[in-house]
Amino acid sequence: MAGKAPIIVLVRPQLGENIGKAARAMLNFGLTEMRLVAPRDGWPNPSAGPAASGADSVLNDAKVYETTAEAVADCANVYATTVRKRGVTKPVVTPEQAADLIASRDGRSAILFGPERSGLETEDVALAREILTVPINPDFGSLNLAQAVILCAYEWSKKADGTLVQPTAEDALPPAPQEELEGLIAHFEQLLQPRGYFQPPDRVAATRLTLRNILTRPGWNHLEVRTLRGVLSSLGKPPRDT
């Protein structure tokens, strides 16, 4: 699937900062190939690097073209991010639908993004197979360049076969082994027994089972079990004089 990753083509971008921010958005979601069509201030642009916040590899490998047609000459599938242009009749897809199409079609794919002020011209859109439009608030439809890129890059990332990771899931500790859970349960019972918790006698087994189910349900990790054991140890000690 990595070989199908779309090329991000910035057509006549105006500010180096926006090129850098677009590169940052791309790399966050696994896209690495950027093409620039006639950037207004030339290339390389000293303002792009700081705005990329470390996505220098994308900027360093970016290729520059004089025309949009040249930038997509090797691409079989071209998507133009824009609203419908008068005189151009093409299918309209969302970023999610475009990601599905890119994943299913043969040949290289490119997504075109227009200049910050005016967007793509009709001649640029005419090169595309589909128009890519983001569903947006009809009373305020103002996305900047990096925002538009990140929406498309994110939708593509969901097709990227696990090459991206969820940070919170990656940092989560594994569940504690059963031996540690048994120690936690025994510790609870040790403190509860002399306080008459397991009453009446005919309900002792059911109460112990309920307690076990409660303590094994959350999937405590090692640190959580150790913390709970520390709490119980403190509760089992005589109160300190204050």
Whether residue 174 has a cis bond before it, omega within 30° of 0: no
Does the pLDDT of residue 241 top 70, yes or no? no
Residue pLDDT, tens place only, 140-153: 877 889 999 999 99
The whole-angstrom separation of Cα 152 and Cα 155 is 5
Residue-wise pLDDT tens digits, 153-210: 999 998 876 566 666 555 667 888 999 999 999 999 998 888 888 888 899 899 999 9
Q: How confident is the model at residue 134 (pLDDT cuts 50, 70, 90)?
A: confident
Report the alpha-carbon distance of residue 55 to residue 51 in Å, rounded: 9
Q: Which of 155, 179, 146 is nearest to 103 (CA)?
A: 155
Domains and CATH numbers, the chain: 2-164 (3.40.1280.10), 173-235 (1.10.8)
Mean pLDDT of the chain: 89
Q: How far apart, in whole angstroms, are the C-alpha atoms of residue 106 and residue 74?
A: 12
Sheet holding 7-11, edge to edge: 63-65, 34-37, 7-11, 109-113, 77-81, 130-132, 92-93
Does 20 score more than 90 pLDDT? yes
In this structure, what is the dihedral angle of CA atoms 48, 54, 56, 62, given to the nearest 10 degrees? Answer: -70
Q: pTM of whole model > 0.75?
A: no
